[in-house]
Amino acid sequence: MTLQVAVALDDRSFAAQDWVAAVQQADDARLDFVTFDDAFGRRGPDAVLVASRVAPVTRHIGLVPVATTTHTEPFHLSTALATLDWVSRGRAGWQVRVSADPAEADLLGQRAPLGFDDLFTEAADAVEVVRRLWDSWEDDAIIKDVATGRFVDRDKLHYIDFAGEHFTVKGPSIVPRPPQGQPVIAALTHQARVWERLDVDVYFVTPADVDNAATIVRQLPAEKKVFADVVVFLDADQETAIRRRGATTSDAAVFAGTPAQLADLIASWEPAGIAGVRLRPGTPADLTTITGELTGVLRERGLFAPSTATTLRERLGLPVAVNRYSQEAANA
Amino acid sequence: MPKQIILAAHFPGVNNTTVWSDPRSGSQIEFSSFEHLARTAERGKFDFFFLAEGLRLREQRGLIHDLDVVGRPDTLTVLTALAAVTTHLGLAGTLNATFHEPYELARQLATLDHLSGGRAAWNVVTSHGAFFGENFRRGGFLDHADRYRRAGEFIEAARTLWDSDGGDFAITSSQFDIKGRFGVPRSPQGRPVVLQAGDSSEGRDLAARYADAIFSRHHKLDDAQQFYRDVKDRLPAYGRNRDSLKIIPGVSYVLGDTDADAQEKAHHIRRQQVTPQTAILLLEQLWNQDLSAYDPEGPLPAVDPVLDEADTIIKGRAGMFPDRLKTANEWRALAEAKKLSIRDLVIEVTGRQNFIGTPDRVASLLNEYVQTDACDGFILVPHLTPAGLDDFVDQVVPLLQERGVFRTSYESSTLRANLGLA
């Protein structure tokens, strides 16, 4: 059985050509998606905009930026991600993040930092709002009916009327429903129960070994796609990789070795029920080894195959996103 | 050397200027449409591409407005994508100072400036009232009187962040109390170009103090000249010279093989823009009441407009009629004199294209406006998506270049420098 291979980009470059080069490399190697790390107060460019900057110059790869729910407007998040989906023709995703850092609250300057529970309540509400807004235009809302002079059928545009503890949002979106209907939502989780409150499609998890991976997968709902994160240092000989790894520590497992050895590790984790791996290159050179050598090894062993899917949802094997409002209308 | 003309391309908006019933009309949301217009503008050596911002769908009579093109992208996301398919074109967008916050927006604009190599521009607008606020955390929090105060403080805050070169900042003002570290080093333009669109005296002062360019609405030559003088005369008080603020009205044009041909085309376009249904809706915006029972081919209403500015029939669009009763009486008199139906009257009084004629005539008119200080350039608003500027770039731009009033190649890679700003 083949696995999906993603890469986590953690670059902080402000030069467009650096990002274009990295993502084109991954695109050419037919990796399934890249994530763009970010945080509300982080040094570095805005990740959603970086993803948008590379979208027109890449063809296949999914583009999954991190965006924070804590100090941002759910309405803006929804429209920005819908736009990323339009710009990339159905390749957009979103890695949800919350912010517990008081210094980040000071950047917005409107309220005290939220407690742990509130952070996730708010994030769950933000995800719900983002999703409802994506559905707030039915796919056939635009009618261009010359006889009645109507461009749009207003019965197919929906107020979302969301009211939660931290915000209310009326809707509908300003953006027509994006090509995927529902772009893919992901979250990195170290404690599955916390993130279960959010309606996400993909979990990034950090198992220490295959048994741990199997335990984590069993704890998560079966329909979720689980990707195991691994930090990788790759070299032609293991000693060099180990030397480069040095004392690197991470929340995820840290691998140092040859591409063939990493392929062994990935093969050994496959029975745990993961959908794939998200590799975090130790350095930019490791990205080059992933795209230039590792994918070749994985293909030879039948562990990886370039997807022919055109959207990220399809590529991940997620079902076609049924519009909740069309569904309501059909059931009424 | 004569004054050089600034040109910008406005992506067609969500109003009845944009004709969707024409067979040549393409998607208003697919990226290929944005790419087409941006590439066309860059081929024509335009200064910048312009995109407005949506915060909520417009409503009339309490219903979502369904007659006009609607559905648009997030401003910053699509502008950043356009940076990938252009190399010199400025990328300008409206971003509302009421429903964005300084740290996040300054970071996004600085990101766009970096990722485009110095081509970002921000059109600052402010809104008050609960209508847009219903989509945002703070609701309609801003009083009408505080709009310009917030806009000014927002621009000040953004400047502080951009000038920090990725360093620490602390800002305390009536609207903002923020501090921390701005994680974006100085971007290629230092500060993205700032546009402003307000027209009141306060709006003009705000522009004179902070803006690099004004997106103005003054089209008639004498009116535009007066506006130009008024705003430029305000600059010395802020220690600025007259060239440091560019005046760029939004305008429309129609080209034809002869002037008569162009006039005929213009009339045809206006009939496309004002359908019978749209005529009633536009009339309602002045009358401020439900006129759906009226026949668009019949006479104007005998009843007077409802003078309740707190509860207007249209939501999500700026008010256009300072004196409803006066305008209504003028319209009725005009309809009476010329024997015009509701639709014919609306076609007569709204949305007339600003420059109509042969390419040579339009080029001459545009140049006259600039050389006589009615403006410094134009934001062209095409009526078709996405090919609405093709004819202008092919037929008018070369004439302006021949006259020596428009560039034949870009002077610089940054928008600020191409606009002739320091």
Check residue B70 and give its pLDDT: 97
Taking the C-alpha atoms of residue B96 and residue B106, their distance in angstroms, rounded to an integer, is 12
pLDDT of residue A192: 67
pLDDT tens digits, residue range A33-79?
A: 999 999 999 999 999 999 999 999 999 999 999 999 999 999 999 99
Domain check: are B326 and B371 in the same one? no
Nearest to A277 by CA among A315, A240, A321, A228: A228
Chain A closest-CA separation from residue B72 CA (Å)? 5
**Are B35 and B133 in a shared domain?**
yes
Q: Which of B298, B317, B349 is the last residue of a domain?
A: B349
CB B406 within 8 A of CB B7: yes
B184 and B44 together in one domain: yes
In whole angstroms, give the CA distance from residue A174 to residue B44: 30
Q: Please indicate, yes or no, if residue B265 is contained in any of the structural domains.
A: no
CATH of the domain at B167: 3.20.20.30
Contact A34, A63 (CB under 8 A): yes
> Which of B66, B103, B117 faces A154 most closely, judged by CB atoms?
B66
Q: Give, for A7, the enclosing helix (H) or strand (E).
A: strand A4-9
Q: Which residue of A has its CA nearest to B87?
A: A16
- pLDDT score of A196 more than 90: no
Domains of chain A and CATH, by start: 4-331 (3.20.20.30)
For A75, the enclosing helix (H) or strand (E) is helix A74-87
Q: What is the pLDDT of residues A88-103, one digit of tens each?
A: 999 999 999 999 999 9
Does B326 share its domain with B220? no
What interhelical angle do B147-163 and B201-210 show, nearest 10?
A: 10
pLDDT given at position B178: 98
Count other C-beta atoms under 10 Å from residue A116's C-beta.
10
Pair (B154, B242) in one structural domain = yes
> What's residue A1's pLDDT?
79
Contact B224, B375 (CB under 8 A): yes
Asked whether A127 and A169 are in contact (CB, 8 A), the reply is no
Q: Domain for residue B376, yes or no?
A: yes
Instruction: Pick the more confident residue, B158 or A190.
Output: B158
The per-residue pLDDT for range A257-286, each reduced to its tens digit, is 999 999 999 999 999 999 999 999 999 999
Number of domains in chain B: 2
Residues B364 and B343 in one domain: no
Q: Are B326 and B282 found together in one domain? A: yes
Pairing of strands A33-36, A4-9: parallel
Is the link from the previous residue into A172 a cis peptide, with omega within 30 of 0? yes
Return binding residues of B for FMN.
94, 144, 148, 200
* Residues of A (11-70) whose Cβ lies below 8 Å from B: 14-16, 19-20, 40-46, 48-50, 52-57
pLDDT tops 90 at residue A108: yes
Contacts of B83 in chain A (CB under 8 A): 16, 53
Q: Is pLDDT larger for residue B39 or for residue B316?
A: B39
Range of the domain at B187: 6-255+356-418
B341-364 pLDDT, tens digit each? 999 999 999 878 999 999 999 999
Rounded CA-CA distance B296/B298 in Å is 5
Contact list, A82 vs chain B (CB under 8 Å): 73-74
Residue B263 lies in a domain: no
The whole-angstrom separation of Cα B334 and Cα B332 is 5
| B32 in a structural domain | yes
Name the pairing type of β-strands B120-125 and B193-196.
parallel
Which residues lie below 8 Å from residue A60, measured CB to CB, with a gap of 6+?
A27, A30, A91, A306, A307
B323 min Cα distance to partner chain A (Å)? 29
Residue B190 lies in a domain: yes
For A154-185, how does the pLDDT look when each residue is reduced to its tens digit (9 = 90+)? 999 999 999 999 999 999 999 999 999 999 99
pTM as predicted: 0.97
Phi, psi of B120 (to 5 degrees): -85, 140
**Any CB–CB contact under 8 A between A160 and chain B?**
no
* A190's tokens: 């170290």
Give the mean pLDDT of chain A.
96
Stretch B326-332: mean pLDDT: 94
Per-residue model confidence (pLDDT) at position B352: 83
Do B239 and B123 sit in the same domain of this protein? yes
Residues B367 and B332 grouped into a single domain: no
Residue in B70, B101, B115 closest to A53 by CB: B115
Closest partner CB to B176 (pick from A71, A109, A175): A109
Which residues of chain A lie closer than 8 angstroms to B276, CB-CB? Answer: 149
User: In this structure, are residues B96 and B126 in contact, taking their beta carbons and an 8 Å threshold?
Assistant: yes
Using CB atoms, which residue from B35, B71, B135 is nearest to A142? B71
- Report the residue count for chain A: 332
Residue B172 CA: distances (Å) to CA of A43, A113, B157, B175, B280: 22, 19, 9, 8, 48
Amino acid at residue number A323: N
Same domain, yes or no, for B332 and B401?
no
Average pLDDT of the residues of chain B:
95
User: Is 90 exceeded by the pLDDT of residue A328?
Assistant: no
CA distance B54 to A181: 20
Domain termination residue (choose one: B307, B329, B349): B349
Kindly state the average pLDDT of the residues B327-338: 94
The binding site of B consists of 94, 144, 148, 200
Q: Cβ contacts (< 8 Å) between B39 and chain A: which residues?
A: none
The CA–CA distances, whole Å, from B287 to A133, B63, B68, B337, B363 equal: 33, 17, 20, 20, 38
- What does the pLDDT average to over B105-122? 98
Q: Where are the alpha helices (DSSP H) in B27-146?
A: 31-43, 75-82, 102-115, 130-133
Helix axes B359-371, B221-234, angle to 10 degrees: 30
For residue range A13-43, what is the model confidence (pLDDT) as tens digits?
999 999 999 999 999 999 999 999 999 999 9
Looking at the fold, whether B178 and B305 belong to one and the same domain comes out as no
Instruction: Kindly state whether B339 is in contact with chain A, defined as any CB-CB distance less than 8 angstroms.
Output: no
Distance in Å, alpha carbon of A73 to nearest chain B alpha carbon? 6
CA gap B103, B175 in Å, rounded: 13
The pLDDT > 70 percentage for chain A reads: 99
Mean pLDDT of B387-411: 98
**Residue A260, pLDDT score:** 98
| Cis omega (within 30 of 0) for bond into A45 | no
Instruction: Let me know whether B296 and B244 are in one domain.
Output: no
Which of A11, A43, A46, A175 would best serve as a mutation to test chain B binding (most B beta carbons within 10 A)?
A46
Tokens in use for A21? 């080069």
Structure ipTM:
0.97
- Which residue do the tokens 């003078």 mark? B307
Tokens matching residue B372? 């006589």
Q: Is residue B270 part of a domain?
A: no
Where is the domain boundary, B319, B349, B379?
A: B349
**CA A325 to chain CA centroid, nearest Å:** 24
Q: Which residues lie below 8 Å from residue B345, measured CB to CB, with a gap of 6+?
A: B300, B331, B334, B335
